[in-house]
Amino acid sequence: MTKSPRLPRVYSLASKSDLPYTLAGNPRLDTWIQFLPGDRVEIRSGKVELGQGIATAIAQIAADELDLDLSRIAMLPTDTSVSPDEGSTTGSRSIQEGGMAMRQACARIRAIFLASASRQMGVDIVSLSVEDGVIRSASSNETLSYWELAASVDLTVSAEDVTATPKQIAALTRVGQSVPRTDLTPKLSHGGFIQDIDLPGMLHGRVVRPPSFRATLLSIDSAAVAASPGIRAVVHNGNFIGVVAEREEQAIVAMQALRESCQWSEIDDLPDMADLKHFLRHADADVEVLRGDEGPSRAAEHSVEAAYSRPFIAHASLAPSCALAWWREDRLDIWSHSQAIFALRDEIADVLEMQHDKVTLRHAPGAGCYGHNGSDDAALDAALLAEAVKGSPVRLQWMRDDEFGWEPFGPAMLVEIKGGVQASGDVAVWDQHIWGNRHIARPGRLESPALLAAWHMDKGYAEPAAVDMPLSMGGGGQRNAVPYYDFTGVSVVNHALNEMPLRTSALRALGAHLNIFAIESFMDELATAAGLDPVEFRLRQLQDQRSRAVIEAVADMSGWGTPPAGEGRGKGIAFARYKNVSTFAAVVAEVEVAETVKVLKVHAAVDCGRLINPDGALNQCEGGIVQAVSWTLKEQVTFDRRTITSRGWDTYPILRFSEVPEVEVKLIDRPDEEPLGVGEGMTGPTSAAIGNAIFNAMGLRVRDLPFTSENITRAME
């Protein structure tokens, strides 16, 4: 069974209406809002809360448009049986899409209630006002609440059939305020993650993975395990092997025993990690010209060429992926921390040959992830194990080595740039080539199932290659590939590899991370060649005032021009507009280089348009910076010719709390501009600023991530 590729609704072709994409795709207003007993309102968003704070921000948007106190609002976790299908929660677009759809939906719902109150009171609608859900007539002083009217108001109507204008920015009282996050209390009290869910009569599952990607099972002896105390089922379906037990420790012991009983056939088909750049540069690839300026080339006074790379990077979620599944007669309920709840529902139903409406997916937050980790795979694992014990819920959690060995990785990439600068300090020519695997392998995007267990089952689904979404802002390796500067003479070519040695999919910012690192490192190299200050050099190439504003702000914040005190210390700057259409960010990093690189302080100036919850935006900027520091200094997937060798925190180290730099972020509020996402926009500028700071400290250009002692030594040689 195969499926045709489908795009998420957020990226479908333009709607026939002027509604936001996701509201046009889910136009019935009762899909978005329900008025509950006790004067409460349930908000139903199709965007999932991952820790980025969007549940709070969307509640603020709804509260403003409905004139409600935030305390009355309950945010329903995304649930395929009742929530609007807003595609995946990706690309730092939750507020731009889900938030703006909610704003328009709530404006229309408020208009419907005002019209109903006007009819019942017999007064002109212009005399009505709303305060905390109570509609009051200025002429008669009569009142009616939303909840008193709810029984007689029809919200099954389409948003396209209701005319309403959201409030003017000046009338908003909740948007723009820092309010406490609604998702933090349960997480801080040990009950807010999917790993904490405990259903009545719950059993526990574990899966035995093959030892390497292309391993084939030769034999298994499961009799002894099946007869062990507490074991409820052993599942063997092709290369998929799992166990269900009454207690979690029983499941782990049984999984280990099953693993020992298996005999596998393996092959050595991975590239040589020591020569990964050579593999990327010479693998078969589709060539895409992203920009090719025509016209005569300008003479360059100074010419530079350089190559920049990053390795495969893991999501390294703090808790291994988890899912719960419960078969009840012919229906299947699943709890997952997937970022694509509806697509995952459809994919699992297709693999199990079920009608889509017989499967319900409910989102529950996972402990740590931005991007496509093992969450979707764990959901199918749980469903297959629960099918063997129908009537009982099964909690399936991966082991740490499962997570590091089998989750999709952020693709390794290589960027080569040749360029030149004129005597005037203007960039004369820019020739850039990018190599790497494609970045998207989420459920619902590929021609065959994108779930690990589906490839291991007897049905023999083939592992599909990752894709890049056809987006104008770059849906993969193309993201931020074209420099966001005003110079011409630019050529940018993407080489999207057709060979996929390791499993790859979306990791925070996709190709923007390395593309920005390369572009902003090269901008520094050109500035050095021209003898210009890096800030002055960037401003020379930028006319856009919002771009200039963040660069000038971060230079002021960081005391740019004043060298850092201390031997081996340096400062570096980098700038980017995420996707070339979203958030503006400029970063200055201060580093100390000794036996290792230590990032001492990071300053950032960020313009993400209208701020919904400033504290939430600040959290996202800080989190993005810290994760980027970890990627830049430490993180890389390691492998031999057969399998992944970085299977734990000892072999895949991440930034420790003691290594987190001081972070200062300035948010530039633009109330009259549309809100922009912030979570992914910090990664590239942070990495580039650190690299430029190392050059400032040592006069040494390190172009290969991460900045480990080995890579620094290699750069010196």
The rounded distance, in Å, linking the Cα atoms of 103 and 164 is 11
Handedness of CA 276, 281, 284, 288 (dihedral sign): positive
- For 306-344, the three-class secondary structure string (H helix, E strand, C coil) is EEEEECCECCCCCCCCEEEEEEECCEEEEEECCCCHHHH
- Supply the pLDDT for residue 111: 97
Q: What is the mean pLDDT of residues 540-561?
A: 97
pLDDT above 50: residue 5: no
Residue type, 579: K
pLDDT above 80: residue 698: yes
Contacts of 405 (CB under 8 A, 6+ apart): 209, 643, 644, 647
List, as one string, the DSSP characters of 669-714: --TTSPP---TTTTHHHHHHHHHHHHHHHHS----BSS--HHHHHH
pLDDT above 60: residue 602: yes
- Supply the pLDDT for residue 447: 85
Domain 9-177, what fold?
Aldehyde Oxidoreductase; domain 4 (3.30.365)
Q: What is the mean pLDDT of residues 559-565?
A: 92
List, as one string, the DSSP characters of 392-409: S-EEEE--HHHHHHHSPB
Domain 413-439+475-716, what fold?
Aldehyde Oxidoreductase; domain 4 (3.30.365)
pLDDT band at 17 (very low <50, low <70, confident <90, very high): low
Common-topology check for domains 9-177 and 413-439+475-716 = yes
- Supply the pLDDT for residue 6: 36
pLDDT tens-digit readout, 149-161: 999 999 999 999 9
**Within a 13 Å sphere around the CA of 250, how many CA atoms are in the beta-carbon half?**
17
pLDDT tens-digit readout, 348-360: 999 999 999 999 9
Report the phi/psi class of residue 304: left, alpha or beta, with left for phi > 0 and alpha for psi in -120 to 50. beta
Share of the chain above pLDDT 70, in %: 97
- Supply the pLDDT for residue 529: 96
Q: Where are the alpha helices (DSSP H) in 244-322?
A: 248-261, 276-282
pLDDT tens-digit readout, 305-334: 999 999 999 999 999 999 999 999 999 999
What is the largest distance, in Å, between two alpha-carbon atoms of the chain?
Answer: 85
Location of structure tokens 């395929």? 80
∠85-91-92 over CA atoms, to 5°? 95
- Supply the pLDDT for residue 296: 66
pLDDT above 80: residue 10: no
Residue type, 556: D
CATH architecture label of 196-266+316-406: 2-Layer Sandwich (3.30)
* Phi and psi torsions of 315, nearest 5°: -70, -30
Distances (CA, A) of 88 to 31, 207, 709: 17, 27, 38
Q: Are 146 and 35 in contact (CB under 8 A)?
A: yes
Q: What is the mean pLDDT of residues 661-682?
A: 95
- Supply the pLDDT for residue 13: 31
End-to-end CA distance of the chain: 53
Predicted model pTM:
0.95
List the domain boundaries for the chain. 9-177, 196-266+316-406, 413-439+475-716
Q: What is the mean pLDDT of residues 121-137?
A: 96
The rounded distance, in Å, linking the Cα atoms of 636 and 310 is 8
Distances (CA, A) of 38 to 66, 74, 198: 17, 12, 28
pLDDT tens-digit readout, 482-526: 999 999 999 999 999 999 999 999 999 999 999 999 999 999 999
- Supply the pLDDT for residue 581: 95
**Of 603, 571, 606, 556, nearest in space to 694 by CA:** 571
